[in-house]
A and B are shown apart, each in its own frame.
Chain A
Amino acid sequence: MNDIFKKIPGLMWGSLLMILFFVIFAPNYTNQRNIINILQNSAIIIIVSMGMGITILSGQIDMSIGGVMTASAVISAMYIAHIQEPTVTDILSTFLIGIGVGGVFGFLNGLLIAKYKFNYWLVTFAMMSIAYGIAQVVTQGKVISGFSKSFRNVTTFSLGNIPMVVYIAVLVSLFMFFLTYKTKFGMHIYAVGASEKCAAQSGIRVDKVRFVIYLLSGLLSGFGGVLLVSKTNFASANVASGQEFTAMANVIIGGISFDGGKGGLLGAFAGSIILTAILNGLQLMGLSNYWQQVFTGIFILMIIIIDVVSQRVKKTKNTRRVYKNA
C-alpha cells in the first residue's frame, strides 16, 4: 500500500485536494449527471493523450496531434455527411477513413523522425501545420454539421447511463496499458526514452521502436478525430485546435516526465480525468471559460516546479553521498 502512495506523483495529490474542494463547494459537482459529463468530456482526450503519452515516454513529443485530429475529423465528416441513412459498413468506412488519415500522418512522422533522423519538434510541428491547413482547404472555412443519428450513436448512445464514448476510451486505454506495461515493445519504449544510447547498445532497434510510436500516435489521433465528429455533431477547421497542448498537460499532470522513460500511461489516463474534472469544477463555480487556459498553465508550472525541485535535491544528495563515503 505504501508503494502505491509513493508511486502517485505529488501533484496528483494537490489535484485531488482541489477536486475535494469542488465536491464541497461547487454546486451539483457530485451530481450523477455531472460526473458522467466529466467522463464524457475526458473520453476523447484520454485516447489522444495515450498517443502523446508514449511519445513523451520515448523522450520526444508529437506536436501534430491536434492537427491530425482536425484533419481526420473534417475528412471523415465530409464522407459521412452525404449519407442520409448510413449502413454499418458506411459508419465503419468513416472510422477507417479517419484512422487512415491519422495513420498517414503518423507514418510520415515516423519515417522522417525514426528513419531519416530529422528533429522531432520540427517534423511534428510542420505536420501539425500541414494537417490544420488541409482541414482548412477541405472545409473552405465552413462548418460541417448535422449527421445521421446512427453515426452519432457510436459515441452518444448510453449504456447504463454512460455514453459509448466512455467505454471506447476505457477499451483503448486498456489496450495501451497492456502494450506499455506488459509487452516487450512497451519495455523498449521505456528503454529508448530513458537512454537512446543505452537502448541501442543493448540491441534494441531504436528506429523501429520510434517509428511504431509515431504511427500509433497518429492512428490514435485519427480515431479521436472521428469520435469527436460523432460526439459533437459538427466538424470544422478548428474543431480540435489546441488539443496537443491539452494532451500534453494531461500527460504531465499524470507524472510522465519530459526526460523520457519516467511515468506511465495510467498517469496519462488519470491526468486527463483530473484536468477535465478541475476545469469542470471551475466552470460550476462560475468562472468563465476564458480562465480555463490560465489555470491549465498554472497547473503545468506547479508540476514543473515540484518535479524539478525534487530532482535537484535528490541529485545533490546522491553526489554528496558518494563523496562522503569515499
Chain B
Amino acid sequence: MSSEQHENLLSIQRVTKLYPGIKAVNDLSLDIRRGEIHIIVGENGAGKSTLVKIIAGLIRQNSGDMLFEGANYSPASVLDAQKAGINMIHQELNLMQDRTVAQNVFVSREPIKNRLHVVDTKKMNSDCNKILKELGLDFDASMLIKDLSIAQQQMVEVAKAVSRENKLLIMDEPTSSLTQKEIDHLFTITRLLKSQGTSIIYISHRMQELMEIGDRITVMRDGALIATKDIAEISMPEIIKMMVGRKIENVYSRTKTTAGREVLSVTNLTGLRFRNVSINAREGEIIGIAGLIGAGRTEFAKAIYGKDPIENGEIVFCGKKISKRNYITKNAVDFGISFIPEDRKAEGFFTGMSIKTNMMEASWRFLFRNRIIKNGIMNKMAENGVTRLSIATPTIDKNVSELSGGNQQKVIIAKWLVHESKLFIFDEPTRGIDVGARAEIYSVIDALAMKGGAILMISSDLPELLGMADRIYVMKDGEVCGEVCRDTPDFTQEKVLSIAIGETKTA
C-alpha cells in the first residue's frame, strides 16, 4: 500500500464535473505515476480537456478528490496548482506579442535589482537564454514574440512552463501548430523532462507520435475512463475501437430521400485554413463533415457562407458560379445559403432580444410595405415558425436568452425557414443540447432535407453523423482525406475516426 502511494504522484479519485446537460467528466479515477509520460486520448468532447483543467486549477470538479504526493489536493486557482508544481501548456497561445521572450517567460516573476522594484533585465535575459539553450531553441531571449514564427511561439509557451518548478506538466495538444521538426524537438524536451523525474500528461490526436513517446495511455469516452494500458501492450486499432465505442442512441430520424439536382458543388476550394477541398451536395441530401478540432471544417463552411475569404477554387451554387470577388455573407443569404453556427450565443442570435426579433433577423426585406415594418406580418411569420418547429414558449416576445439550448437552436433554424433557404450549413447542431431536444433537432433537419434542402452538417459527434448523413467527408489538416457513403461497409465510426486521425487513407 505504502509503496504504491509513493509511486503515484497524482491520484484522481472519482472526479465528476457537470455542465448543463452533460457530464463532462464522469466518476473518473486515474493515477499518474512519478516520471511517466501519460497519454490521454479520446474523441472531441470526450472530456480530456475538462479533466486536465481540473488538475491545473482552471475549473473545479463537482465531486471527487485528488491526492497529490499523498496529500489532499484541491487547487482554488491556477496559482495554487503552480505552487504545488503542476503547470499546463495550453492549446492556444497566450503570449504578449509586443514583449520579449524573457518578459513573457518570467511574467510576474521578474527578478528585481533593488527596493525600487527595478527589473533586472540582464539577469532575466541570461536566465531565459539558459532555459532556451537547455531546450535547444535557437532564438534569443531579447527577441520580440511577434517576430517569432507560430511554432517558435508555441515553444515559448513550453519554456514558460518548463521554467517553473515542475512535478507534473500537462500538455494539451501542444503539437497542433508545430511542424514535424519542432514536434521531434518537443519530444526531445519531453523525454528530457521525464529523465529529470517530471511526470507528463500529454493530450493529442496524433496517434503515431504518442506511441513513440508514451509510457501509458488512457482512453476516455463520454467523460468516463474506458481503459488505462501500457503503450507496449496495445495496438492502434484497439485504441481506436475503444475511442469510438459509443452506443448509438435511437434518436436519429432519417427518412430515405432520393437526391435531386445538385445544389452545391465546390471544386478545389482553398482558403485560410483549408486547401483543395472539393465536395458536392444535392437536393434532399445530408452531407456530413467529420474531422478533429483544427481540421479546418468550420473555416471551410464559413468560406462557403461568405464569412471567410476564398483564395482559390470554385463554388457553384444551384448551377450558378459564385464570384470570389466581393463575395460576402449578404450574397450568401440572398442566394439561399443558411448558416447555423456552433457558438450560438456569440454568432447565432441576439442575446437579450425576443424570439420574434431573432427570427426576423435574416428576413427584414419581407416585412416592409412601403418602407414601413408591418408588425402584423412579422407576428404571423414568427408565430408560424414557433408552431412549425414546436418551440416551447408561451409567447413570441419572450427573451431568447431565457430559452433552453434546444429551443434556442430551433429559433435559429426558424430564422432560416422564414427565409426559404436552399442550403443549410449546421456547425455542431446539437452541442450542449440534451438528448430529448436533440431528437427534435434531428427531425427538423430531416424535414428540411425531405423538402428538398441540401444539408451540410459539421459535427464532432460521430454517432450523430452516422445516424443522419448520407455521405460523410472526412477532413484532416485542412484537406478532405476521405469520403464514406451510407450503406457501404466503410460507413462506421472506426473508419471515419481512423481517416480523421490519419491512420488510413481512402481515395
User: What is A's interface to B at a CB cutoff of 8 Å?
Assistant: 182-188, 190-191, 194-195, 197-199, 201-204, 261-263, 314, 316, 318-323, 325-326
Contacts and interface: CB of A to CB of B under 8 A. Distances in A.
Given A198-B94, A198-B96, A323-B273, 12 more contacts: A191-B108, A194-B98, A201-B79, A202-B107, A203-B82, A204-B108, A261-B97, A318-B149, A318-B150, A320-B272, A325-B151, A326-B477
A182 B113 CA distance: 10
A159 to B, nearest CB: 28
B231 interface: no
A323 B99 CA distance: 25
Which of A185, A318, A326 gathers most chain B CB within 10 Å? A326
Which of A187, A199, A263, A319 gathers most chain B CB within 10 Å? A187
B94 A319 contact: no
Nearest to B149: A321
A323 B107 contact: no
Interface stretch (B115-123, B189-197, B328-336, B489-497): B115-123
B460 interface: no
A188 B106 CA distance: 11
Which of A188, A199, A202, A321 gathers most chain B CB within 10 Å? A202
A201 B97 CA distance: 17
A318 B417 CA distance: 39
B133 interface: no
B478 interface: yes
B241 interface: no
Interface of B: 78-79, 82, 94-99, 103, 107-110, 112, 116-119, 146, 149-151, 177, 179, 272-273, 275, 296, 477-478
Contacts of A262: 97-98
A323 B275 contact: yes
A209 B422 CA distance: 53
Contacts of A314: 146
15 contacts: A183-B117, A184-B112, A184-B117, A190-B99, A190-B103, A191-B108, A195-B95, A198-B96, A201-B79, A203-B108, A262-B98, A318-B149, A321-B150, A323-B272, A323-B273
A201 B98 CA distance: 19
A314 B99 CA distance: 17
Which of A203, A319, A322 gathers most chain B CB within 10 Å? A322
A231 B478 CA distance: 64
A164 B118 CA distance: 29
Contacts of A322: 150-151, 177
Contacts of B98: 190, 194, 261-263
A187 B97 contact: no
Nearest to A318: B150
A202 B90 CA distance: 13
B291 to A, nearest CB: 14
B141 to A, nearest CB: 14
Contacts of B179: 325-326
A183 B116 contact: yes
A188 B96 CA distance: 11
Nearest to A262: B98
A183 B107 contact: no
A184 B110 contact: yes
Nearest to A315: B272
A203 B179 CA distance: 31
Contacts of B150: 318, 321-322
The 7 residue pairs across chains A and B that have the minimum distance between CB atoms:
A194-B96, A202-B108, A325-B179, A203-B108, A184-B117, A262-B98, A198-B94
B115 to A, nearest CB: 11
Contacts of A321: 149-150
Nearest to B177: A322
Contacts of A316: 272
A199 to B, nearest CB: 7
A170 B82 CA distance: 42
A187 B119 contact: yes
A198 B107 contact: yes
A137 B208 CA distance: 75
Contacts of B149: 318, 321
Nearest to B160: A202
A281 to B, nearest CB: 31
A190 B58 CA distance: 23
A195 B94 contact: yes
A325 B273 CA distance: 12
A137 to B, nearest CB: 37
A198 B95 contact: yes
Contacts of B118: 182-184
Contacts of B116: 183
A186 B108 CA distance: 11
A71 B65 CA distance: 57
B312 to A, nearest CB: 12
A188 B117 CA distance: 12
A187 B110 contact: yes
Nearest to A195: B94
Nearest to A264: B98
Contacts of A183: 116-119
Given A199-B107, A319-B272, A185 B151 contact: no
Nearest to B118: A182
Contacts of B151: 322, 325
A322 B151 CA distance: 8
Nearest to B121: A182
Contact of B99 (A201, A203, A261, A326): A261
